[in-house]
Amino acid sequence: MIPCSPRLTLRKVRASSATTPTFARLQLLGAPLAAVTRGGGGAILRSARTELAVSAMPTQVVDTIGAGDSFMSALIAGLHDLGGAAVRAAALTVSRRGARPPSLAGLAASD
């Protein structure tokens, strides 16, 4: 397991995961990335070789309608932002000699 931030954990896929049947079905349908929300248990994103567990944010629940739609919208927007950041990082790296990827500050300044 690799801690990424206080709420994120990157870990290898374990066959004993309670969500394994769900992910297996999604992968059989051809999904390269699957996300399963678990309410107060957070969410799990999984590809063929990696699983990312995200803890739920403490909150006072009033109404859960729209939570899944909000989750997916933010996930798609985040993947778009991540893709853009990855492209910028590669462009900055190849613009100079040696394998020197940009710092987070340098990446943010390239926006």
The burial class, CB within 10 Å (0-12 / 13-18 / 19+), for 89 is: middle
How much is the mean pLDDT over the chain?
A: 79
Tens digits of per-residue pLDDT, 82-105? 888 888 888 989 998 988 888 888
Indicate yes or no: pTM above 0.85.
no
What distances in angstroms separate CA 95 from CA 64, 103, 105, 110, one per listed residue?
47, 14, 17, 12
